[in-house]
Structure 1
Amino acid sequence: MKSDQSVGRIITFGDRPVQKKTCPSPEFSCLSMKSDQSVYRLITFSDDSTENRGVQREGSEITGRNMETSVQNLDYPSYPGDVPVGGDDTLHAFGDRMKQDDLATTSQTTLALSCHQKLKFTLGEKCQKRTEGILKTGSLVHLHEIYTELYIVEEGSDEANKEHEVSQIEAASRRRDTQEIPIKCNDILKHKDKVIRTVLTKGVAGIGKTVSVQKFILDWAEGTANQDVLFIFPLPFRKLNLIKEEKLSLVNLLHRFFTDTKNLKPEEFHHNKVLFIFDGLDECRLPLDFQNSESVSDVTQSASVDVLLTNLIKGKLLPSALIWITTRPAAADQIPADCINQVTEIRGFSDLQKEEYFRKRFREEHVAERIITHLKSSRSLYIMCHIPVFCWITGSVLERILGESEISEIPKTLTEMFTQFIVFQIKHSRKKYQEKGDVDHEEAREIILALGKLAFQQLEKGNLIFYEEDLIKCGIDVREASVYSGVCTQIFWEESGLHLGRVFSFVHLSAQEFLAALYVILSFIFKNKNVLQRQHFPTKSTLSDVLKCAVDKALESETGHLNLFLRFLSGLSLESNQTILQGLLSQRVSTSHNTEEIIKYIKDKTCETTPEKTINLFHCLNELNDHSLQQKVQSYVNKETIGGSCDPKFCPGQWSALAFIMLNSENQLEEFDLRRYHQSEGCLLRLLPVIRTCRNVILHKCNLTGKSCAALASALSSNSSCIRELDLSYNKLQDSGVKLLCDGLKSSQCKLEKLGLECCSLGKEGCTALTAALTSNPTHLQELNIKHNKPGNSGVKLLQTLVEDPQCKLDKLLID
């Protein structure tokens, strides 16, 4: 930079030799960096992928990716009023700034641009290629070729959802909210009404959070989006965990992970727009204490990693930085609500996006159509395809089966699908190892058992990411971990973390849950041991005892974290699935198991547990290929017994079976009228999962009480609720019942627009509760009917103030 020998020449850093071209403008010269005579000279730092380097575009000296407009609107507090122009490959954006007389400041700006270019190149190289499923295996393809836009929406709350993730997926598949406006991945940090600093993005495992981060970074690196950001620092929690014991400054932390920025001065982090991406909060094993952690405000001040993170997120450290955090829903509450400006949710693929995915993956149209048709025929499989990773799993299995000369039976249940997937992947990898003489049948089985034990123990703890100490506790020799990931190439994998240590994981939570269930089955078969109870059984005991124990444990779980595990365990108890496993285990599997016994046990439980947990029990019956209870209820539907009124002799289990049938029907209800079924509280409570999915709910004259109000409040406050109109007229709810209902109305998740409480014995206390609820959540309810009640003048005045309040949407109050 001290000489003038580069004047008028374009310098390309690519694979070709440096080409020189005389600039047609003779007046340019270079005297020093203090002058403005170097403005508009073009220096290209080519950051193209390896295979495209040195390929010149026609009519341009710029090689590789053409990153136009990549430093537009840079926010430099040191240079107020500047509006830079040009692209990443030019110094145009810094032209006016070069006029500054402060040589030190100018050097820092030049250095920032240089580091910016290097970081873009490095991150672009890392993010542009990937393979589906497990990284590092299979052939790499460009992300743009396989990326399918995900359905992302803004959420009104960062409240953690403790439901099992499959339950959330099933709820998402039924959610129909026309008011929700999808957000594009590249707009995740933007909002039309408010300034965004910190965004929390939720999504279940495998839904596409990490891929969305990758796509965001790639588009930034290619210069097509978010060019106001000069530096992006992706810091996954799984890697931050590896240095949890160290103390270092924020500057040193970034130098550790991003060597391209090692020459940046500390002040550059303040003078430039910086984005930190913390991917995988649910994988965090750092003690994030937002209340008691020490205060750090200097980027050169050393502290533990967890302290640096809490201060960054709170805005104490580097308050000008943008923060993007991704997490599974259950871990979202680790970040205080007052630290988050916007909450978004990735809901995976819509039905149209599922089809787009399979048509992209299978270029032969008839293959794609056959796969889509088959998946639609199995509602449970089709719903799971909301998860991109599950699309990859089903695609892998169905592609192999449809490609065989003798087509075997196509999987129709989750257990059948995963059994085929696991067996095929392990057989394929084992064959590779056997050719080398490394792994035999017995060793392969021991590897599966060890991985199953790891899956089971970590599932109980809620961990999806494991470290060397976790493997050691399961009896896995970490020196042989590469053999485990080799035998189970597409299932279990390891990732190095900058020479800091190794990180292990399964391809998806569902694969971990399947292996955990397989471990329980194999432990009983080979060791006559029920690992759920940590004890040995007498010889005469059966697999039914293990399954009953699993059912009880799953029902005891408040979060339902064992739901999918139980479904897999139920399916693996069938002889048909065990037959498939025999080839894998090279040993005949024999169990003394009465399938009818466990089916009866599950049916009995459907009458005893909550409606939500009952839904999973019906999924378990499906995995056991038992549809008798559903068929019995379906016969009533077919005979139009359900019309004026349903059979009052229906037991709770039969009402739940009806709910299961309705939820898994392709034709979703827009309106739910309880009078079509049975006008009773018992019927309402059992059909509550269905009620959540309907827009208009009519409970007129249904003999409901406060117990119903509490249940409805829970439904209204659920983030899966679709209810927009609710008519509770002519039920003796009284003030006590209305107060319970208000617990749901005040929730930020409640989107109710019309509420009917005509003739519900409503008094002043009920009106007070309604006023408080609508003050707390004023943006949705537009119409309230309280005719034929006794609210008194004071109660009416309270509600009238809401109508007059410009902040409240209520504009129609119906009273006598």
Structure 2
Amino acid sequence: MVEKDGCYSCLAALRVLRVSLVDELEGRINSLLEILVNQEVFTRDDREEVLCQLGPRARVRNVLDILACKGEEAAEIFLSIRSHHQQEAQKQSEEGHTDQPQFVEYNKVKQKHKDLLTRRSESMLFYNTRHGEKIPFSEHYVNLLLADGHQCLERKRHEVLTFGQKRLSMQQKSAVHRKIAPAELFSSANGNRPVKKVLVSGVAGIGKTILVQKMLFDFGGNRDHLGFDFIIHMTFRDLNLIDKPTNFRELVLRKNRHLSKELDAILANDDKLLIILDGFDEFRHYRSCDVDAFVTEPDEDAEVVVVFGSLMQGELLPDASVMLTSRPAAINHIPVGCIDRFVLIAGFSLAEVQDFFLRYFQDSAIADCMFAVVSANELMLTLCYIPAFCYIVCCILKESKHLCGESPKTMTDIYVQYLVALLRSHTQARAETFRHEQRAGAVQKLSDIVLKLGRLAFQKLMEHQTLFYSSDQDVAALEGCSLVSTFLDKTVAQEPGCTEEVYSFAHLTVQEFFAAVYCAVTDDPLPDVLPHTSSRAEGSNNGHLDLFSRFLSGILSERNANLLSRQVGLSCNKDKVDIYRQRIISELTTLCENGAQILNHLHCLFEQQDPSLALAVQPKALQVNVSDETLSQMDYNAIKYFLNLTKGNILELDLTGTGVSCEALRDMQPLLLRCNKLWLGENNLNMDTAQVIADVLRASESITHLGIGWSDIGDEELLALSNAIRVKKRLQELWMEGNRVSYKGLLSLRDLTPNPLKRVVAIWNDLTDTDPESLCTQESITVSFTDDDMWAAWGEWVFKRCEVSSNDKLVTVLHKVCNISVHCLESQWAKTFYKQLLQLIKHRIECCTEDDMCKKLKKFESILNL
């Protein structure tokens, strides 16, 4: 290079090398151009200017001309990229030197595959794209955050309602090292263990498939994922069409016939192979993937689920890398022992929400105004962090001047207005063409179509189906209707020798909403699958119908029923409205008296927005159990809505394992002051949170029982609580098992026992320095299991909770109580407790319809049978 001011001039080097660079780069100028754009050396306008040139050599010359205008830094980056490409080419040449003809053919197929992936994925059809409009991936990036451990597996079942608030929290708290780029998914986080199997979890509409497309596009253009020679992409929607034994080779060739000649070499080099499997939650066999039989060869025939299970568990192509995408609701069914990295896809940031508004409204003033409207509505802003919901909210805002002036208060409000907005747009378009058509006729026709869509949504939702085929009778009934494409997406599934059209609702929640509309306006009785107090305990719907039941409640409310009647011509059945109102009152009363899980019922009550319903709930004892749900702000709103309408003391409020924060407790403090028993265990209670609890203890005239077990508190937090207990001296029992409290910390309670503290449970704490003799006079403080009535009462309480818990929650409890050395507990209370648990497990196994859940329950059955 030419030396300039003591440094080598990269611009001068480009001038010297110009002729040779044209020869060298003409075969890969397009991929090089994309790298320059991604690294922000070139703008998109620069790229368009280059692509207008006729022929690759002219394009190289144009790139060099633009670089000359951009200066020394741009030229330096360009030469660095070129050097990296030269090294990769040399390395590949050296690796293939011993078998040159095969290496050349392998590379040809590799390049052909990359070109095909680029064509298949060069653009995405985004939510607000017009027909035929293309948006390059370079204009959109998907943010990913690493999830800690098995956090994804513990996420609550109806993921949509928790996600937005969780996204806000993650944005505020996540450190830089937790953020990863798609290209780093298979990079070892700590260097100790290779990352081969990655699970990418994200709620419906968050952009999982867009992420997959971007990875394929980047690989095809030689930008990322270059540690792999091939990426094979499959969708579970396609796999659902296979109803006979097959093998992995056939699965690959279904859409990749161009790989047939080199497939043996590709599979032999499986350490250079990435397999992406998109949409596990849509797999019709997703409950049966923890297989016991395996295939080990790519040509070995088996059922699709066995081939998939063998691949995931490393029995088939053990050195291949696999990326699996799924909604959180289905990931409990994945054999998680084989997963090396759990990733949560995080959706839009606040800046991306604003950018989406700008692209949707295409006018900065209007976009800013609409964003201000959303920012003032917590519900709508929370939903906008999910791209699909962001589109729905924008649709409503665009048509809001024609709708009711009141801002949406509930999920159902938003969806009813979304439906009306799209139907209004359709009606207006028809009015321009059919000016003299009677409006009543048009509305009636639209209502018929909505009913047909609702019937399809309802029937398939009850059958756990999100995909519908053109041969289906309910799909055929919609043929020829232009409105259908507004709510249904169509893809073509390919079988060897034939194709079939496959439909799905634009969003899972849209299907749940249409199903609820159908259920509300027809004369059919309310379905038995709605969450009852008895069926809920056995996990009959396992959260599958939670949002459906909330939509149904909201549609049966007076305000939304009136809006549907006026705008869509659909009227809710009056008898059904009365029956539903009586049911929710009755079930809420029973759930409060039993202390069973109540959160979904509180959401149903909230969707009604009718205070008289809450006032009609008159339980003998008010016990509110929302445990083991990662609570979002929307959940807290539903809880507060109900409790603020009730009067008197709250016998029990169970917030165990809810991820409750200091801010949430502070917000709920007026309600906490009314509690007799407050359970806050299995949450991370830091000193700030302990101070809020201490404030409650200082002010409350009601609280007698406090549970803070497994909450990571230590001596400092306990000292803050003990000082607060001394103020009112109301607290009678303190349960703080499984923490970091030492003997020194327990000393802060000595003057409080046995009055007012009749019982302090401190088992499983850091009491290795405890002198048993020093505590012998402290009968109120329990640091180990005994044979007295206290533990018998504890066993009864735990068993009662197990009876009213879902199977998932039951397994969580069993992991704890079956880890306390069952066979070391020879006390009568322990024998009785574990005998009852065994009988409950056997009953659940008899009723269970899910294979993997049966396996989990049977493991505990075998433990307790010993």
TM-score by length of 2: 0.63
Q: CA shift at 1:156, angstroms?
A: 3.7
Aligned to 1:456: 458
Q: Which of 399, 413, 420 is equivalent to 1:423?
A: 420
Aligned to 1:568: 551
Aligned to 1:487: 483
Q: Distance in 2 between matches of 1:380 and 1:352?
A: 18
Could you say what secondary structure the match of 2:189 adopts? coil
1:77-109: CA deviation from partner (whole Å, max 9, x where unpaired): xxxxxxxx9779978634465467967x32332
Aligned to 1:69: none
Could you say what secondary structure the match of 2:276 adopts? strand
Instruction: For 1:48-447, list aligned pairs within 5 A.
Output: 54-56=51-53, 93-95=88-90, 98=93, 105-133=99-127, 139-147=133-141, 149=143, 153-157=147-151, 159=153, 161-169=155-163, 172=166, 175=169, 178=173, 181-193=178-190, 194-248=193-247, 250-271=248-269, 273-286=272-285, 292-401=291-400, 410-429=407-426, 444-447=446-449
Aligned to 1:697: 690
Are 1:482 and 1:494, in contact at CA under 8 Å, matched by a contact in 2? no
Could you say what secondary structure the match of 2:480 adopts? helix
Amino acid at match of 1:463: Q
Matched, 1:759 2:741: no
Q: Which of 465, 468, 484 is equivalent to 2:467?
A: 465
Q: CA shift at 1:452, angstroms?
A: 1.3
Q: Distance in 1 between matches of 2:567 and 2:417?
A: 10
Could you say what secondary structure the match of 2:503 adopts? strand
Are 2:469 and 2:503, in contact at CA under 8 Å, matched by a contact in 1? yes
Q: Distance in 2 between matches of 1:371 and 1:24?
A: 54
Q: CA shift at 1:190, angstroms?
A: 2.3
Q: CA shift at 1:328, angstroms?
A: 1.5
Amino acid at match of 1:378: N
Matched, 1:497 2:455: no
Amino acid at match of 2:238: K
Could you say what secondary structure the match of 1:242 adopts? coil
Could you say what secondary structure the match of 2:215 adopts? helix
Could you say what secondary structure the match of 1:343 adopts? strand
**Cα 1:337–1:663, aligned 2, differ >3 Å: closer, same or farther?**
closer
Aligned to 1:513: 512
Q: Distance in 1 between matches of 2:571 and 2:368?
A: 36
**Cα 1:325–1:86, aligned 2, differ >3 Å: closer, same or farther?**
same
Q: CA shift at 1:425, angstroms?
A: 2.7
Q: Distance in 2 between matches of 1:208 and 1:576?
A: 33
Q: Distance in 1 between matches of 2:326 and 2:335?
A: 14
Q: Distance in 2 between matches of 1:663 and 1:691?
A: 7
Aligned to 1:12: none
Are 1:275 and 1:324, in contact at CA under 8 Å, matched by a contact in 2? yes
Are 2:145 and 2:179, in contact at CA under 8 Å, matched by a contact in 1? yes
Q: Distance in 2 between matches of 1:597 and 1:252?
A: 53
Q: Distance in 1 between matches of 2:132 and 2:745?
A: 58
**Cα 1:463–1:63, aligned 2, differ >3 Å: closer, same or farther?**
farther
Q: Distance in 2 between matches of 1:703 and 1:259?
A: 75
Q: Distance in 2 between matches of 1:679 and 1:423?
A: 42
1:296-339: CA deviation from partner (whole Å, max 9, x where unpaired): 33334444332322222112222221111111122112222221
**Cα 1:697–1:364, aligned 2, differ >3 Å: closer, same or farther?**
farther
Could you say what secondary structure the match of 2:179 adopts? coil
**Cα 1:695–1:504, aligned 2, differ >3 Å: closer, same or farther?**
farther
Q: Distance in 1 between matches of 2:732 and 2:282?
A: 49
Q: CA shift at 1:382, angstroms?
A: 2.4
Q: Which of 561, 571, 574 is equivalent to 1:589?
A: 571
Matched, 1:678 2:663: no
**Cα 1:688–1:529, aligned 2, differ >3 Å: closer, same or farther?**
farther
Q: Which of 571, 575, 591 is equivalent to 1:609?
A: 591
1:602-648: CA deviation from partner (whole Å, max 9, x where unpaired): 567556536896554454444334368999xxxxxxxxxx9xxx999
Amino acid at match of 1:325: L
Q: Distance in 2 between matches of 1:675 and 1:413?
A: 24
Richer in helix (by share): 2
Could you say what secondary structure the match of 1:229 adopts? coil
Are 1:134 and 1:507, in contact at CA under 8 Å, matched by a contact in 2? no
TM-score by length of 1: 0.66
Amino acid at match of 2:555: L
Q: Distance in 1 between matches of 2:62 and 2:732?
A: 69
Q: CA shift at 1:213, angstroms?
A: 1.8
**Cα 1:349–1:99, aligned 2, differ >3 Å: closer, same or farther?**
closer
Are 1:554 and 1:566, in contact at CA under 8 Å, matched by a contact in 2? no
**Cα 1:156–1:363, aligned 2, differ >3 Å: closer, same or farther?**
same
Question: How many corresponding residue pairs?
Answer: 666
Are 1:164 and 1:559, in contact at CA under 8 Å, matched by a contact in 2? no
Could you say what secondary structure the match of 2:399 adopts? helix
Aligned to 1:545: none
1:13-53: CA deviation from partner (whole Å, max 9, x where unpaired): xxxxxxxxx99679xxxxxxxxxxxx968634857999999
1:694-726: CA deviation from partner (whole Å, max 9, x where unpaired): 9623545699999854x855xx69xxx9xx977
Could you say what secondary structure the match of 2:591 adopts? coil
Q: CA shift at 1:445, angstroms?
A: 3.5
Q: CA shift at 1:150, angstroms?
A: 5.3
Q: CA shift at 1:348, angstroms?
A: 3.0
Q: Distance in 2 between matches of 1:99 and 1:174?
A: 49
Q: Distance in 2 between matches of 1:770 and 1:516?
A: 50
Are 1:152 and 1:347, in contact at CA under 8 Å, matched by a contact in 2? no
Q: Distance in 2 between matches of 1:247 and 1:265?
A: 16
Instruction: For 1:607-686, list aligned pairs within 5 A.
Output: 608-609=590-591, 614-626=598-610, 650-652=648-650, 668-669=663-664, 677-678=672-673, 680-682=675-677, 684-685=678-679
**Cα 1:201–1:185, aligned 2, differ >3 Å: closer, same or farther?**
same
Q: Distance in 2 between matches of 1:117 and 1:258?
A: 13
Could you say what secondary structure the match of 2:348 adopts? coil
**Cα 1:99–1:157, aligned 2, differ >3 Å: closer, same or farther?**
closer
Q: Distance in 2 between matches of 1:173 and 1:96?
A: 42
1:561-613: CA deviation from partner (whole Å, max 9, x where unpaired): 3332233223322454344434664x473754798997687567556536896
Could you say what secondary structure the match of 1:257 adopts? coil
Amino acid at match of 1:513: E
Are 2:673 and 2:703, in contact at CA under 8 Å, matched by a contact in 1? no
Could you say what secondary structure the match of 1:190 adopts? coil
Amino acid at match of 1:567: R
Are 1:492 and 1:506, in contact at CA under 8 Å, matched by a contact in 2? yes
**Cα 1:154–1:297, aligned 2, differ >3 Å: closer, same or farther?**
same
Instruction: For 1:506-545, list aligned pairs within 5 A.
Output: 506-523=505-522, 528-533=523-528
Q: Distance in 1 between matches of 2:183 and 2:688?
A: 31
Are 2:144 and 2:345, in contact at CA under 8 Å, matched by a contact in 1? yes
Could you say what secondary structure the match of 1:668 adopts? helix
Are 1:238 and 1:280, in contact at CA under 8 Å, matched by a contact in 2? yes
